[in-house]
Chain A
Amino acid sequence: MVQDCCASGNNIMILACSGGSNVGQLSNQAAVELTQEGFGKMYCLAGIGGQLKAFVQSARDVPMIAAIDGCSVGCAKAILKNADIQNYNYVVLTDLGIEKNKNLSLSAAEVGKVKDAVRNACAGQLAATAINAAPSKGGCCG
Chain B
Amino acid sequence: MDIKVLGPGCAKCQQTEKIVKEAVAEAGITASVEKVTDVMKIAEYGVFGTPSVVVDGEVKSVGKIPTKEDVKKWIKK
Which residues in window 1-29 of B have CB below 8 A to A? 6-13
- Give the number of chain A interface residues (Cβ < 8 Å): 28
**What is the bound-complex CA distance between A110 and B61, given in angstroms?**
37
Which residues in window 39-71 of B have CB below 8 A to A? 39, 42-43, 45-52, 58-65
Tell me if A108 is interfacial: C-beta within 8 Å of chain B: no
Determine the chain A residues whose CB is within 8 A of the CB of B10 once the complex forms: 5-6, 138-141
Interface residues on B, range: 20 to 34
Determine the chain B residues whose CB is within 8 A of the CB of A61 once the complex forms: 48, 61-64
Determine the chain A residues whose CB is within 8 A of the CB of B65 once the complex forms: 142
Q: How far is the CB of A46 from chain B (nearest CB, A)?
A: 11
**What is the bound-complex CA distance between A54 and B44, given in angstroms?**
10
- Chain A to chain B contacts (Cβ below 8 Å), 10 pairs: A2-B43, A2-B47, A3-B50, A5-B7, A5-B50, A11-B63, A54-B45, A62-B48, A140-B10, A142-B65
**What is the bound-complex CA distance between A139 and B12, given in angstroms?**
6
Residue from B6, B47, B49, B62 with most neighbouring chain A CB atoms (10 Å): B49
A57 touching B59, Cβ below 8 Å: yes
Tell me if A58 is interfacial: C-beta within 8 Å of chain B: yes
**From B39, B51, B60, contact of A4 by CB (8 A):** B39
A3-B63, A6-B8 known; A141 and B51 CB under 8 Å? yes
Tell me if A74 is interfacial: C-beta within 8 Å of chain B: no
